Structure 1
Amino acid sequence: MSEHRRREEEAMGGGNEAYGKKAFKRSRSHFRDRITADGRDGWPVEAGRYRLVVSRACPWASRAVISRRLLGLEGALSMAIADPVQDDRSWRFTLDPDGRDPVLGIRFLSEAYDRREAGHPGGVSVPAVVDVPSGKLVTNDYQQITLDLATEWTALHRPGAPELYPPKLRDEIDTVMADVYEDVNNGVYRAGFATGQEEYEAACAGVFRRLELLVPRLERQRYLVGDTITEADIRLFTTLVRFDAVYHGHFKCNRWKLTESPVLWAYARDLFQTPGFGDTVDFDHIKRHYYQVHTGINPTRIVPLGPDLSGWLTAHHREELRGRPFGDGTPPGPVPAGEEVPVPGRP
């Protein structure tokens, strides 16, 4: 494996990942400028100025894809979708004609990184927001991007957009998200990339301990915090939707499958069937990325045929817990042309 590919595996998804002798550690994003309503970092919110670069394979990028759709920002913030299978030059735009992003005019996301800072540390990660006029990366701060979409881009939200980070619930949302991040979102990676038995067992145990702690909460309420969808649900969903497809087998998080946990499986299906969630999920991209890019874990690059994905559209009965998915708002409209993804079990 080349040094560049090793760095890319370590930077897969949001943030950067680093390995010690046996333990896995994700470092903070290097480019942490914010796009705000008042432009205090030099990047004001402006319709059409920025391009969100994502991979549908990446759980960290998928947070931004879901938030953008729920908030109705498709017309204000364009989106580039990278090939789920990287090569030694990083995330690439080989899904586009001539292998070049039609808006940014570049073949590799690394070009936007290099325009911002030549010789920057770490790998090239998604999600990333690029300034279209200059072609420079603005931010790859996966933790902050979605919070800013919810709170700084409000002037460009669609009518009826939900409040994903309501002020009165932020303390509770932050607490829930911190626990989910440490043990679940990042925990599956610490298990999957562990190179020692002890480290693997500790990480894997932490994943399932946290999931089991979430069950009583989700038995009595439809969503993680309050009675509407919030940022906390988005962040948990992007791990749960990948669980049986890749984390159970590829990352050895196999104490049980999501489909074997009645409460979590129903919760995940409820969100999947909510406009803005399942209609952004591409299982083909997810499976091909994990199994073909992580050659240190899967050297044969064979992509498994399973699991059966048709159950995602089965009845979940979570509406019996009441709750209002969009609060006082409304569901997003149809998926924009060119952004559709195949939905399992649906013709």
Structure 2
Amino acid sequence: MSPAQFGRESAATGEWKRQGNRFVDRIRRDSSSKPGEGPDDQGRWPVEPGRYRLVVSLACPWAHRSVIVRKLLGLEDAISLAIVDPVRDDRGWRFGLDPSGRDPVLGIEFLSEAYRKTDPSYDGRVTVPAIVDTLSGLVVTNDFPQITLDLSTEWTEYHRPHAPQLIPADRAELDQLMDEIYREVNNGVYRCGFATSQEAYEAAYDVLFARLDVLEERLADRPYLLGDTLSEVDIRLFTTLVRFDAVYHGHFKCNRNKLTEFPNLWAYARRLYQLPGFGETVDFDQIKRHYYLTHDTINPNRIVPKGPDPRAWLP
């Protein structure tokens, strides 16, 4: 697959830009819809346990966030989970891990079927995570930044006892950090990997490592990015860090340093990995097979590296 199939690029500069999210309805406690109905006139769907299906790839860092948050909050019984095959082709994400090659709840072979049912004219890239309404088969949202926030704020009635408060009451610092980390780290590795000019690649590379240097310093005197408490921004950074040495360092040419060469970031990432909900949701095999087998322009021979050794993440 070409970089353009994951977003778009500027022919003039070679800079890669991520495709926007098409489906941005939200599941809200204040929806005027009744259980079993569709969205209200403001695009809000009702919170209703057992109704929605979260479709993810364990390879995808954007989807991985929602898997971690769902588990930390104890929403496994409220929102079901579908996992697609990590190796996608031109037809998009496929339910190839299910014995029948079909999602047992939605009854579809490809996530694109739900996208097209929701919008028959849709011709963009099909992305995960996506939340699908099991009653209608329609995509509620593929707005990955909002999905995890809403799991924290709109589904509180169904959180497990003593679930972590991932969003502090004062969100100013959280929102600033999430924005910086998204632009310069989470999306920054892709801007390196999918750049089509030397200038665009080097600019993205410099921004990425400048931000990692700042984060390395920030973590010198605190266990989490906001201090002593785990928050949403830690989850967002973790899903990039856990893929860094296995994929981004070599495959995306983000090779000034390995994660293991940042003492504070490496200790932080390993600490998160060993917490419930983090390491148990990481699948290095699926991560490596997705990146190395689907990016034909970057890895035309489709060789999947054997390392690094995942035991380094363990105590």
TM range (shorter): over 0.9
Say if 2:30 is the partner of 1:38: yes
Q: Once superposed, which parts of structure 1, at least 4 consecutive aligned residues long, lie more than 2 Å away?
A: none
Alignment of 1:69-218 (within 5 A): 69-168=71-170, 170-218=171-219
| Secondary structure class of the residue paired with 1:215 | helix
1:168-188 deviations in whole A, cap 9, x for unaligned?
A: 2x1100001111111100000
Q: 2:15 aligns with which of 17, 23, 27?
A: 23
Kindly provide the amino acid, as one letter, of the partner of residue 8 in structure 2. A
1:222-247 deviations in whole A, cap 9, x for unaligned?
A: 10013211000000000000000000
Aligned to 2:234: 233
1:268-316 deviations in whole A, cap 9, x for unaligned?
A: 00000000111100000000000000111111111011112211013xx
Q: 1:66 aligns with which of 65, 68, 72?
A: 68
For 1:261 and 1:308, how far apart are their aligned partners in 2?
Answer: 17
For 2:266 and 2:122, how far apart are their aligned partners in 1?
Answer: 41
Contact (CA 8 Å) 2:2, 2:296: kept in 1 or not? Answer: no
Kindly provide the amino acid, as one letter, of the partner of residue 281 in structure 2. T
Kindly provide the amino acid, as one letter, of the partner of residue 100 in structure 2. D
Contact (CA 8 Å) 1:84, 1:285: kept in 2 or not? Answer: yes
Post-superposition offset of 1:167 = 1.6
Post-superposition offset of 1:205 = 1.1
Rate the CA distance shift 1:199–1:6 in 2: closer, same or farther, 3 A: closer
Kindly provide the amino acid, as one letter, of the partner of residue 174 in structure 2. I
| Secondary structure class of the residue paired with 2:277 | coil
Aligned to 2:273: 272
For 1:195 and 1:122, how far apart are their aligned partners in 2?
Answer: 21
| Secondary structure class of the residue paired with 1:90 | coil
- When normalised by structure 1's length, the TM-score is 0.85
Contact (CA 8 Å) 1:35, 1:43: kept in 2 or not? Answer: yes
Structure 1 segments unaligned to the other structure (5+ residues): 12-16, 315-347
For 2:17 and 2:90, how far apart are their aligned partners in 1?
Answer: 22
Q: Percent identity?
A: 63
Contact (CA 8 Å) 1:32, 1:139: kept in 2 or not? Answer: yes
Post-superposition offset of 1:87 = 2.1
For 1:213 and 1:224, how far apart are their aligned partners in 2?
Answer: 11
Post-superposition offset of 1:121 = 4.0
Kindly provide the amino acid, as one letter, of the partner of residue 179 in structure 2. A
For 2:5 and 2:213, how far apart are their aligned partners in 1?
Answer: 28
Kindly provide the amino acid, as one letter, of the partner of residue 30 in structure 1. R
1:75-96 deviations in whole A, cap 9, x for unaligned?
A: 0000000000012211000100
Aligned to 2:39: none
Contact (CA 8 Å) 1:30, 1:121: kept in 2 or not? Answer: no
Kindly provide the amino acid, as one letter, of the partner of residue 112 in structure 1. A
Aligned to 1:244: 245
Q: 1:10 aligns with which of 1, 5, 19?
A: 5
Say if 2:295 is the partner of 1:300: no
Contact (CA 8 Å) 2:251, 2:292: kept in 1 or not? Answer: yes
Aligned to 1:255: 256
Post-superposition offset of 1:46 = 0.6
* RMSD, matched Cα: 1.2
Post-superposition offset of 1:6 = 4.6
Post-superposition offset of 1:69 = 0.3
